[in-house]
Amino acid sequence: MDKNETGRGISTETSSPEALKSIALKVREHIIRLSAGGGCFIGASLSCVEIMVYLYAEFLRPGKERGGNPAGVDEKSISRRKNPGRDYLFLSKGHDVPALYGTLVEMGWLDKDRLKNHLSTRDSIYWHPNTNIPGVEFHSGSLGHLPAVASGVALDCRIGGGDNRVVVITGDGELNEGSVWETLLVANAYGLDNLTLVVDRNQFQANIRTEELVPLEPLEDKFRAFGCAVRRIDGHDFEALGAAFEELPMQKGKVNIIIADTVRGRGLPSIEARADRWFCAFSDAEIRELLEELHGNVHARIESETLVVR
Amino acid sequence: MGYEELLIETAKADERIVVMTAENRALVRTLPKILGNRFVDTGITEQTMVGMAAGLALRGRKPIIHALAPFLTMRAFEFIRTDIGIAHLPVKLSGYIPGFLSDGNGPTHQSIEDVSIMRGIPGMEVYCPADEDDLLRMLPGIWASESPSYTRINHKKGIYTHRDYDPGRAEVISEGSDCTLLVYGFLFGNALLAKELLEQRGLSVGLVNMRSLKPVDEACILRCAQSGGRIFIIEDHLQTGGLYSIVAETFLKHRVSAEVVSLGLKERWFKAGMLNEVLETEGFTPERLAETIAGDLAELL
């Protein structure tokens, strides 16, 4: 698919918040549709839509060598070195991949029809990211891995003298994993201020509020104690996202942490901020009602059972 | 030349190589000054080192990474499997003090399941050079490949001058009609001496230095079965998943039956102490090996 004809593609111009909101709305529609049939992790996907749309539409830069896109689309993982000047996005909380699928469709990099193959073994559109999806830099699903992988990428960019920026989206529940903190110690030891972790702080891990299980707050203090530069913003506000990312690096030699306060299930009041609506499989009728609810028309009647999948 | 000199030479010739360690510098002492920013010590963080190695490899680098064998293969196992294995990235793992070489450290440091778990990762290669001479013959090929691999490092000087390494092929030292000893890594030297002791008793003894456990030289293993004698598998590894399992899998696959005796570690960690004492206690000195093998063969008569 030619991204210039069918999708928005990467632009060097800044989009208005209204234009970005319009993209975000479409991404949420994709996410809702992906929760039909076998279902998906809808709650954690809806919370990070603005983060993802902002990063792809506004922040990530294509490689200088060719007018490509930031994610080396159409190239398989190992040969991606062909576009070494690009910025990188790593989705470490892999279960929110519906938001990524939706964003990649709206960017024109992923054929919209492929979303119909969700959970079909004929395609690779499943519950976690993989490199058979154009735009995905690296697979994820096991939490706490991609901060380390991204640090390796950031280190190589530093060794080569590149000005690439490397962004990792992590969950807040993911911060339970010790490997995240281990990697922050190492990344700060190597002064990787070209690395940014965005924490989708939607207050929930799989089945429970983070603060009711293993409390994370005060979160800024923890990251600062590990040597990071920290900023906390409203993760659904495009202007706040823009202001935070435009000031990178926040401090020389320090890994950047952007804690994005978000709402699980954002956009659908009937499932927002609920511990029991992390993974959902809705009926077709419910999908229709949820799409109406997204557009503010009705409050959806949800009768599907709540699922505890993990 | 030793391991470190070969590593320096290889890294100087190939800009892709980045040398990493999780603060185990025994094999790479002089590297920081020589390689500059292509030497990366992540501290005592095996998981982060492996994840970062995957990231470096994504950018086209070929990381050669070092840590003590048990912590590299077990602490970081899921990172190796998930970040290096799934992506099939050219990351080269060097495991230090595997098997009996952990001597006085105790069971926390005993890497006696590393072959089993590393070969269980799709696409991961597993190499076990016998001694420094063998190591230096094998490493250029191991490092040149674009596949991920795990090498049990034994950089001690040996007592044998090996033949050049033919990728994936075992080194047949001798063929014998009474028995064949299959061995890899550090125990090769003692197996060689045990073979001489057995020959002094008039036995015809075959000896094979396996070298590569994945891919494994199936044809060589099958030839050993055809030689008629009993096969003894000597390894400082648990029976589960090591060479004993590999040989069994090979025979099953090819529907071959043979008499096989495992001289490996059976469902327990070994007694820690000075290496020579460990070998004596566990029965892996040349004399103890020869005694065990001769006794076993005598029961046949």
Cα angle value B132/B135/B141 (rounded, 5°):
155
Residue at token pair 């073979």: B195
Asked if residue A17 has pLDDT above 70, the reply is yes
Indicate the SS3 state at residue B92: strand
* Nearest in space to B206 (alpha carbons), one of B189, B187, B223: B223
Residue at token pair 């922040």: A59
Cβ contact (<8 Å) for A137 and B60?
no
Cβ–Cβ contacts within 10 Å for residue B300, how many? 10
Asked whether the beta carbons of B161 and B133 are under 8 A apart, the reply is yes
Asked whether the beta carbons of B20 and B45 are under 8 A apart, the reply is no
- Taking CA atoms, A185 is separated from A191, A228, A277, B4, in Å, by 10, 9, 34, 28
Of A137, A153, A179, which is closest to B48 when you measure between CB atoms?
A: A179
Residue B293 backbone phi and psi in degrees, to 5: -70, -45
pLDDT at position B228, please?
Answer: 81
pLDDT at position A12, please?
Answer: 53
Cα diameter, chain B = 64
Cβ contact (<8 Å) for B47 and A189?
no
Residue-wise DSSP of B12-43: HH-TTEEEEESS--TT-TTHHHHHGGGEEE--
CB pairs under 8 A between A and B: 99
- Residue scoring higher pLDDT (A119 or A275): A119
- Taking CA atoms, B178 is separated from B202, B291, B294, B300, in Å, by 10, 15, 10, 11
Supply B75's token pair: 């602490």
**Rounded CA gap, B180 and A82, in Å?**
51
Strands (E), chain A: 88-91, 166-171, 195-201, 204-205, 208-209, 229-234, 256-261
Supply A208's token pair: 């429970």
pLDDT at position A61, please?
Answer: 83
**Rounded CA gap, A128 and A278, in Å?**
15
Residue range B109-123: mean pLDDT, rounded: 98
pTM of the model: 0.94
- Taking CA atoms, A36 is separated from A127, A129, A177, A289, A304, in Å, by 13, 19, 30, 12, 11
Residues of A near B (Cβ–Cβ under 8 Å) read: 77-78, 80-81, 84, 131, 137-139, 142, 145-160, 179, 182-183, 185-186, 189-190
B46 touches chain A (CB under 8 A): no
Cβ contact (<8 Å) for A152 and B58?
yes
pLDDT at position A5, please?
Answer: 36
pLDDT at position A309, please?
Answer: 77
Distance of CA B109 to the CA centre of its chain: 16
- Taking CA atoms, A223 is separated from A150, A160, A199, B77, in Å, by 17, 27, 11, 27
Q: Compute chain A's Rg from CA coordinates.
A: 18
**Rounded CA gap, A19 and A13, in Å?**
12
B86 touches chain A (CB under 8 A): yes
* Nearest in space to A262 (alpha carbons), one of A36, A70, A99, A84: A99
β-strand pairing of A166-171 with A88-91: parallel
Indicate the SS3 state at residue A173: helix
Closest-CA distance, A185 to chain B, in angstroms, reads 9
Of A81, A142, A156, which is closest to B82 when you measure between CB atoms?
A: A142
- Least confident window among A220-229, A299-308, B57-66, B102-111: A299-308
Contact residues, chain B, for A77 at CB < 8 Å: 58, 87
Tell me which fold the domain B171-300 belongs to.
Answer: Rossmann fold (3.40.50)
Q: Give me the numbers of helices (H) and strands (E) for chain B, helices first please.
A: 12, 12
Contact residues, chain B, for A164 at CB < 8 Å: none
B300 touches chain A (CB under 8 A): no
Residue range B2-11: mean pLDDT, rounded: 98
Asked whether the beta carbons of A174 and A168 are under 8 A apart, the reply is no
Task: Please state the three-class secondary structure of B250-271 as a single string.
Answer: HHHHCCCCCCEEEEEECCCCCC
Contact residues, chain A, for B40 at CB < 8 Å: 155, 190
- Least confident window among A77-86, A103-112, A168-177, A246-255: A77-86
Closest-CA distance, A104 to chain B, in angstroms, reads 21
- Least confident window among A275-279, B176-180, B287-291: A275-279
Percent of chain A with pLDDT over 70: 89
- Residue scoring higher pLDDT (A304 or A160): A160
Residue at token pair 């969700």: A118
Best probe of the A interface among B19, B23, B40, B58, by most A CBs < 10 A, is B58
Give tens-digit pLDDT for A29-82.
999 999 998 999 999 999 999 999 999 999 998 654 334 455 555 444 333 445
Cβ contact (<8 Å) for B59 and A152?
yes
- Taking CA atoms, B160 is separated from A6, A199, B6, B134, B191, in Å, by 67, 57, 20, 9, 12
Closest-CA distance, A187 to chain B, in angstroms, reads 9
Name the pLDDT band for A7 (thresholds 50, 70, 90).
very low
Domain boundaries, chain B: 3-152, 171-300
Tell me which fold the domain B3-152 belongs to.
Answer: Rossmann fold (3.40.50)
β-strand pairing of B260-265 with B212-214: unpaired
Q: Which residues contact B229 (CB under 8 A, 6 or more apart)?
A: B176, B177, B178, B179, B180, B204, B206
Asked if residue A6 has pLDDT above 80, the reply is no
Asked whether the beta carbons of B101 and B130 are under 8 A apart, the reply is no
B204 touches chain A (CB under 8 A): no
B56 touches chain A (CB under 8 A): yes
Asked whether the beta carbons of A265 and A46 are under 8 A apart, the reply is yes
pLDDT at position A77, please?
Answer: 36
* Nearest in space to A125 (alpha carbons), one of A144, A105, A145: A105
For chain A, percent helix, then strand, then coil, each to nearest 5? 40, 10, 50
Percent of chain B with pLDDT over 90: 98
Give tens-digit pLDDT for B142-188.
999 999 999 999 999 999 999 999 999 999 999 999 999 999 999 99
Best probe of the A interface among B35, B47, B59, B145, by most A CBs < 10 A, is B59
Cβ contact (<8 Å) for B43 and A189?
yes
pLDDT at position B91, please?
Answer: 98
Asked if residue B301 has pLDDT above 70, the reply is no
Name the pLDDT band for A310 (thresholds 50, 70, 90).
confident
- Least confident window among A15-19, B69-73, B130-134: A15-19
Best probe of the B interface among A186, A188, A255, by most B CBs < 10 A, is A186
H or E segment to which residue B49 belongs: helix B46-58
Give tens-digit pLDDT for B208-249.
999 999 999 999 999 999 988 999 999 999 999 999 999 999
C-alpha distance across the termini of chain B, in Å: 48
Of A148, A157, A159, which is closest to B51 when you measure between CB atoms?
A: A148
Contact residues, chain B, for A146 at CB < 8 Å: 51
ω into B129 cis (within 30 of 0): no
- Residue scoring higher pLDDT (A135 or A67): A135
Domain boundaries, chain A: 3-294
Residue range A225-237: mean pLDDT, rounded: 98
**Rounded CA gap, B186 and B301, in Å?**
32
Give tens-digit pLDDT for A73-123.
544 433 344 578 889 999 999 999 999 999 999 988 899 999 999 999 999
Would residue A119 be called left, alpha or beta, if left means φ above 0 and alpha means ψ between -120 and 50 degrees? left
B89 touches chain A (CB under 8 A): yes
ω into B148 cis (within 30 of 0): no
**Rounded CA gap, B155 and B139, in Å?**
11
Closest-CA distance, B41 to chain A, in angstroms, reads 9
Cβ contact (<8 Å) for B58 and A182?
no
- Residue scoring higher pLDDT (A60 or B53): B53
Q: Residues 16 to 45 of B: which have CB under 8 A from any A CB?
A: 18, 37-38, 40, 42-43, 45
Residue-wise DSSP of B119-184: HTSTT-EEE--SSHHHHHHHHHHHHHSSS-EEEE---S--SS-PPPP-TT--EEEE--SSEEEEE-
Of A153, A160, A182, which is closest to B55 when you measure between CB atoms?
A: A153
pLDDT at position A147, please?
Answer: 98
Pick the CATH number of A3-294 from 3.90.1200.10, 3.90.700.10, 3.40.50.970, 3.40.630.30: 3.40.50.970
Cβ contact (<8 Å) for B83 and A151?
no
Residue range A169-184: mean pLDDT, rounded: 98
